[in-house]
Amino acid sequence: MKRILLLLVMLMGAATFAQEEQNTVSVIGTGTVNIIPDKVLINSRIEHTGKSAVEVKKQNDNVVNDVIRYLKSQGIASENIQTEYIRLNKEFNYNTKDTFYSANQAISIELQDLKKYEDIMSGLLNSGLNRIDGIEFMTSKKEELQSEARKKAVLDAQMKAKEYAEALGQEIGKAIRISEIQTDHYQPVYRVMEMKQDSSEQETIAPGEMEVRVKVNVDFLLK
């Protein structure tokens, strides 16, 4: 008898839960925060080609040593200088039928101060670095901005749920489920840079703004 009663209670609970699940409204909320980046990641490469594998590797190693020594002299911490890969390949030119070797090493350099970009880049080129594969703007306030964007996303979801419910002459209750939609947190938002009064101050990058975006899926009870 006790087993029968327990089974009935479980079935009634499941039915009540299922009914509650049906009376819900599910919405996606988006929260965004814009900020001017304060860091930059430089993706660079040193490469040489020649007839001798030993010689091209030696050339590359010498330049890499000069580049790293220069960066450290400018106060760039070791943890912000990272070797991505080192390659030494034997190549064949089908037009000239010549065989040669190519050596290249990729180094990523993180600058904590954007104001140093122009000077650092000039010094890198003078040190023998001969290729830039791209730059990536970043912010040091990642966690803080993500937290702010999450709060905005939840409030945005709540506003949308209220609008849906009001259109039906109903109200929303408490939130019963919240999940974050995985997406890229950082997206560049380009803006026009202001012209400097002193034209002698040359600029070669325009950081613009970064948009930190968070999306959440929220289920509310529908009254």
Q: CATH number for the domain including 54?
A: 3.30.70.2970
Q: What pLDDT, in 10s, does the model give residues 113-128?
A: 988 988 999 999 999 9
Q: Is the pLDDT of residue 212 over 80?
A: yes
Last residue of a domain, one of 109, 138, 167: 138
220 by Cβ neighbours in 10 Å (0-12 / 13-18 / 19+) ranks as: buried
Q: Is the pLDDT of residue 43 over 80?
A: yes
Confidence of residue 95 (pLDDT cuts 50, 70, 90): confident
Supply the range of the domain harboring residue 134: 39-138
Q: What local confidence, expressed as pLDDT, does residue 2 receive?
A: 52
Identify the three-state secondary structure at position 194. Answer: coil
Q: Is the pLDDT of residue 65 over 90?
A: yes
115, 116, 118, 123 alpha-carbon torsion, rounded to 10°: 170
Query: Is 5 a member of any domain?
Result: no
Please check whether residues 168 and 133 belong to one and the same domain.
no
Around 49, how many Cα atoms within 13 Å sit in the side-chain half-sphere?
7
Distance CA 89, CA 95 (A): 18
Last residue of a domain, one of 79, 110, 138: 138
Q: What local confidence, expressed as pLDDT, does residue 93 receive?
A: 85
Q: Token digits for 21? A: 């699940």
Amino acid at 88: L
Q: What pLDDT, in 10s, does the model give residues 74-92?
A: 999 999 999 999 999 999 8
Q: Are strands 98-111 and 81-93 parallel, antiparallel or unpaired?
A: antiparallel
| Average pLDDT value for residue range 198-211 | 61
Q: How much is the pTM?
A: 0.64
Q: What local confidence, expressed as pLDDT, does residue 208 receive?
A: 72
